[in-house]
């Protein structure tokens, strides 16, 4: 009697980011200030969404290979990216996006009065 077997599942592959996009090898061994400079350059050159995608891919890929401390660094970088750059923004200066957000809030408050 022949048994019906489920088809073999192929492993899910995560697309590698562009080489050098996050400063090349050793991204996680660099200090916070240097990593943030790299992320600023990445947002300027590619886009916010693309850089966050690279960090998320690194996080998913490293779930079983990175240490807990390295995964925390990636999480901190993701949070910093979300706080500094608004989704879809491509402003070159992070303080510009903060100033624009403050002005928008002021305009909304003035419209309510």
Write a three-state SS string for 45-101.
Answer: HCCHHHHHHHHHHHHHHCCCCCCHHHHHHHHHHHHHHHHHCCCCCCCCCHHHHHHHH
Per-residue pLDDT of the chain (113 residues; tens, 9 = 90+): 566 666 777 666 666 667 788 888 888 999 999 999 999 999 888 888 888 889 998 898 888 889 999 999 999 999 999 888 866 555 555 556 666 777 777 777 777 66
Quick one: pLDDT at residue 24? 82
Q: Are 42 and 21 in contact (CB under 8 A)?
A: yes
Report the alpha-carbon distance of residue 88 to residue 49 in Å, rounded. 7
pLDDT (0 to 100) of residue 71: 93
| Residue 101 pLDDT | 73
Quick one: 86 exposed, middle or buried, by C-beta within 10 A (0-12, 13-18, 19+)? middle
| Distance spanning both ends of the chain, measured CA to CA | 80
What's residue 85's pLDDT?
85
């Amino acid at each position: 009697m022949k048994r019906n077997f489920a088809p073999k599942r192929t492993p899910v592959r995560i697309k590698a980011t562009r080489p050098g996009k996050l400063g090349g090898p050793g991204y996680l061994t660099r200090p916070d200030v240097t990593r943030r400079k790299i992320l600023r350059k990445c947002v300027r050159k590619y886009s916010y969404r693309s850089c966050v995608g690279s960090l998320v891919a690194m996080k998913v890929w490293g779930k079983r290979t990175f240490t807990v401390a390295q995964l925390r660094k990636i999480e901190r970088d993701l949070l910093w990216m979300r706080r500094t750059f608004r989704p879809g923004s491509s402003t070159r200066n992070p303080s510009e996006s903060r100033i624009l957000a403050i002005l928008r809030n002021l305009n909304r408050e003035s419209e309510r009065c």
